[in-house]
Amino acid sequence: MNTAKSKVVIKGTKDGLVFFMDDTCSFSELLDDLREKIEHSHPQFFSGPLIRITLKLGKRYCTPEQQEELTQIIRMKGNLVIHMIDSDVILKEEVYKEDKAPGLIVQTNTVRSGQVLEYDGDILLLGDVNPGGTIRSTGSIFVLGNLRGVAQAGTNGDKDAVIASACLHPTQLRIAEVISRPGDEWSDYSGTTEFAYLEEDRMVVAKMNFLHRLRSDLGKKKA
């Protein structure tokens, strides 16, 4: 197997085995590679005494059903015991803190091809927007997954709205009346954790660590 294309990397620690999951591939690809690893590799690990397993999901959000699919594959080997499933994705409990943005809507699902989801206010989507799918909101849009479809923020004309994603790779973005697609105008576009905003009625894409500074500048203008 070509390890460069591996979706699952297994490393041993003093506490057991850690499975590092690729958070950029499709979930079906991840399942296939995990099943291949469990069935046909590392025989020295997958037999003998009990071994504790930690799953590292990175920036991938997995529903409880998807987590169960992963654990069922690992349980094919009787000596493997799931110890922990760890993800870098923000949990719902962390979003609902007192200092959260007012009116923030939290939604957990995948926007599939042909689907159009519309919201009133800022939306935090714990999932992906697939090619052919559309998400619209009167406020800002934050996608903690792959944004590969269409996102329209500020549909009521709010030019201060932003569109952010853990993996920004859309077919089209729209903020208020400004429409943009990946291309020459996005010279710094990399398809990683970035956000889009309007600057003098032009779509601009920047790294996520610039968002707090932009919000601060907007706050000063409104004061």
Confidence (pLDDT) at 42: 67
What value does the mean pLDDT of the chain take?
80
Between residues 210 and 34, which one has the greater pLDDT?
34
CATH 3.30.750 positions along the chain are 8-94
Please state the length of the chain: 223
Span 144-198, pLDDT tens digits: 889 999 999 999 999 999 999 988 889 999 999 999 876 545 544 455 678 888 8
Mean per-residue pLDDT, 93-112 = 64
C-alpha gyration radius of the chain: 20
Q: Where in the chain is the domain with CATH 2.160.20.70?
A: 102-214
Q: Count the neighbouring beta carbons within 10 Å of the beta carbon of residue 7.
A: 19
Query: Which tokens sit at 38?
Result: 């469990």
Q: How far apart are CA 69 and CA 219, in angstroms?
A: 45
CATH number belonging to domain 102-214: 2.160.20.70
What's the pLDDT at 100?
43
Classify domain 8-94 at the CATH class level: alpha beta
Start-end of H helices in the chain: 27-40, 64-74, 92-95, 211-222
In angstroms, the CA 179 to CA 174 distance is 4
Return the exposure string of 156-175: e unless at least 16 CB atoms fall within 10 Å of the residue's CB, then b: eebebbbbbbbbbbbbebbb
Show the CA angle centred on residue 19, arms to residues 18 and 21, nearest 5°: 140
Residue 149: predicted pLDDT:
94
Question: Residue 169's pLDDT is what?
Answer: 87
- 8-30 per-position pLDDT tens digit: 998 888 888 899 999 888 889 99
Q: Decide if 111 contacts 125 (C-beta within 8 A).
A: yes
Residue 12 to residue 19: CA distance in whole angstroms: 9
